[in-house]
Amino acid sequence: MTGLVTAHSVVDPSPLTKRIAAVVVIAYAVITLVPLLWIVMTGFKSPSDAIAYPPKIVAEPTLEGYCNLFTTRSRQAPDYMAKLPPPSGLCDRISRDRNMVIAGPSNYIPRYVNSLVIAFGSTALSVVLGTLAAYAFSRFKVPLKDDLLFFILSTRMMPPIAVAIPIYLMYRELGLSDTRLGMILLYTSVNISLAVWLLKGFMDEIPREYEEAAMVDGYTRLQAFFKVVLPQATTGIVATAIFCLIFAWNEYAFAVLLTSGTAQTAPPFIPIIIGEGGQDWPAVAAGTTLFLIPIVVFTVLLRKHLLRGITFGAVRK
Amino acid sequence: MTDQTGLSGLVDRAALVTPPVVARRVRGLSERAIAWLFITPTMLLLLAINIFPLIWTIRLSFTNYRANRPNATVLDVGLANYQSILTDPDVWAAMTVTARFVFWSILIQTLLGFALAWLIDKKFRGHGLWTTLILLPMMLSPAVVGNFWTFLYQPQIGLFNYIISALTGAPASSFQMLAQVPLAPWAIVIVDSWMWTPYVMLICLAGLRSIPDYIYEAAEVDRASPWRQFWSITLPMALPFIMLAVLFRGIENFKMFDMVNLLTGGGPGSTTEVASITLKREAFEKWRTGYSSAFAIILFVTVFGLANIYVKALNRVKSR
Q: Is pLDDT of A143 > 60?
A: yes
- Tell me which chain B residues have a C-beta less than 8 angstroms from the C-beta of A222: 18, 23, 26, 29, 34
Q: Is pLDDT of A171 > 80?
A: yes
Q: Determine the pLDDT at residue A306.
A: 52
DSSP string, B195-241: HHHHHHHHHHHHHHHTS-HHHHHHHHHTT--HHHHIIIIIHHHHHHH
- Tell me which chain A residues have a C-beta less than 8 angstroms from the C-beta of B4: 301, 304
- Summarize the confidence of residues A76-97 as an average pLDDT: 82
Q: Determine the pLDDT at residue B96.
A: 94
Q: Determine the pLDDT at residue A135.
A: 92
A73 shares a domain with A144: no
List the 241-280 stretch of A: residues with Cβ below 8 A of B.
Answer: 241, 246, 249-253, 256-257, 266-268, 270-271, 279
Of the given ranges (A80-94, A211-225, B4-18), which has the lowest mean pLDDT? Answer: B4-18
**Tens of pLDDT along B66-108?**
877 777 788 888 899 999 999 999 899 999 999 999 999 999 9
A250 shares a domain with A228: yes
Q: Determine the pLDDT at residue B27.
A: 54
A114 shares a domain with A95: no
In a domain, A31, yes or no: no
Using the Cβ of A150 and the Cβ atoms of chain B, whether some distance falls under 8 Å is answered with yes
Q: Tell which wins on pLDDT, B251 or B103.
A: B103
The last residue of a domain, from among A55, A83, A105: A105
- Summarize the confidence of residues B50-73 as an average pLDDT: 85
- B29 and A222 in contact by Cβ < 8 A? yes
- Tell me which chain A residues have a C-beta less than 8 angstroms from the C-beta of B45: 129, 185, 188-189, 192
Report the percent of chain B where pLDDT is more than 70: 91
The pLDDT confidence band at residue A100, using thresholds 50, 70 and 90, is confident
In a domain, A271, yes or no: yes
Q: What global pTM score does this model have?
A: 0.80
Q: Determine the pLDDT at residue B186.
A: 95
The SS3 of residue B155 is coil
- Tell me which chain A residues have a C-beta less than 8 angstroms from the C-beta of B152: 35, 38
Q: Determine the pLDDT at residue A6.
A: 43
- Summarize the confidence of residues A162-179 as an average pLDDT: 84
The last residue of a domain, from among A105, A134, A159: A105
Work out the mean pLDDT of chain B and round it to a whole number.
84
Interface A:B, Cβ pairs < 8 A? 335
A293 shares a domain with A165: yes
- A129 and B7 in contact by Cβ < 8 A? no
- Candidates B133, B251, B297, partner chain A, best to mutate (most A CBs within 10 A): B133
- Tell me which chain B residues have a C-beta less than 8 angstroms from the C-beta of A218: none
Q: Determine the pLDDT at residue B40.
A: 92
A149 shares a domain with A279: yes
Q: Which of B46, B213, B60 is nearest to A190 (CA)?
A: B46
In a domain, A12, yes or no: no
The SS3 of residue B1 is coil
Write the ipTM.
0.80
Q: Determine the pLDDT at residue A316.
A: 24
- A221 and B124 in contact by Cβ < 8 A? no
A272 shares a domain with A186: yes
A252 shares a domain with A140: yes
The pLDDT confidence band at residue B2, using thresholds 50, 70 and 90, is very low
Q: Tell which wins on pLDDT, B15 or A262.
A: A262
- B52 and A166 in contact by Cβ < 8 A? yes
Closest partner CB to B143 (pick from A137, A237, A252): A252
Separation of alpha carbons B256 and B277, rounded Å: 8
Separation of alpha carbons A246 and B138, rounded Å: 8
- A34 and B300 in contact by Cβ < 8 A? no
- A159 and B300 in contact by Cβ < 8 A? yes
Q: Determine the pLDDT at residue A136.
A: 92
A199 shares a domain with A145: yes
In a domain, A53, yes or no: no
List, in order, residues 6 or more apart from B213 with CB less than 8 Å away. Answer: A9, A11, A314
List, in order, residues 6 or more apart from B5 with CB less than 8 Å away. Answer: A234, A238, A301, A302, A305
Q: Which of B140, B128, B206 is nearest to A296 (CA)?
A: B140
Can you point out the beta strands (E) in chain B? none
In a domain, A317, yes or no: no
List the 182-211 stretch of B: residues with Cβ below 8 A of A.
Answer: 194, 197-198, 202, 205-206, 209-210
Q: Determine the pLDDT at residue B86.
A: 92
The last residue of a domain, from among A105, A138, A168: A105
In a domain, A41, yes or no: no
Q: Determine the pLDDT at residue A183.
A: 94
Separation of alpha carbons A292 and A43, rounded Å: 13
- B4 and A301 in contact by Cβ < 8 A? yes
Closest partner CB to A170 (pick from B8, B36, B53): B53
- One-letter amino acid at B46 equals L
**Tens of pLDDT along A238-291?**
878 887 888 898 899 899 888 888 889 988 888 888 766 677 889 999 998 998
CATH of the domain at A174: 1.10.3720.10
The pLDDT confidence band at residue A305, using thresholds 50, 70 and 90, is low
- Tell me which chain A residues have a C-beta less than 8 angstroms from the C-beta of B112: 28
Closest partner CB to A25 (pick from B127, B156, B280): B127
- B307 and A295 in contact by Cβ < 8 A? no
A213 shares a domain with A117: yes
A266 shares a domain with A129: yes
**Residue in chain B nearest A43 by alpha carbon:** B148
Cα B91 to chain centroid distance, Å, stands at: 22
Q: Is pLDDT of A317 > 50?
A: no
* Structural domain harbouring A242: 108-310
DSSP 8-state class, residue B283: I
A150 shares a domain with A124: yes
- Tell me which chain A residues have a C-beta less than 8 angstroms from the C-beta of B251: 156-157
The dihedral through the CA atoms of A152, A153, A155, A160 has a sign that is: positive
Q: Which is it for strands A278-279 and A274-275: parallel, antiparallel or unpaired?
A: antiparallel
**What's the maximum distance between 2 C-alpha atoms anywhere in chain B?**
77
Of the given ranges (A6-10, A299-303, B147-151), which has the lowest mean pLDDT? Answer: A6-10
**Tens of pLDDT along B138-156?**
777 888 888 889 889 988 7
Cα B80 to chain centroid distance, Å, stands at: 32
In a domain, A173, yes or no: yes
In a domain, A164, yes or no: yes
- A22 and B276 in contact by Cβ < 8 A? no
A260 shares a domain with A121: yes
**CB environment A223-236: b (16+ within 10 A), e (fewer):** bbbbbbbbbbbbbb
Work out the mean pLDDT of chain A and round it to a whole number.
82
Separation of alpha carbons A194 and A32, rounded Å: 26
Q: Tell which wins on pLDDT, A315 or B263.
A: B263
**Residue in chain A nearest B280 by alpha carbon:** A161
How many domains is chain A built from? Answer: 2
Phi first, then psi, for residue B210 (nearest 5°) are -80, -10
Report the percent of chain A where pLDDT is more than 70: 90
Min distance B25 CA to chain A CA atoms (Å)? 10
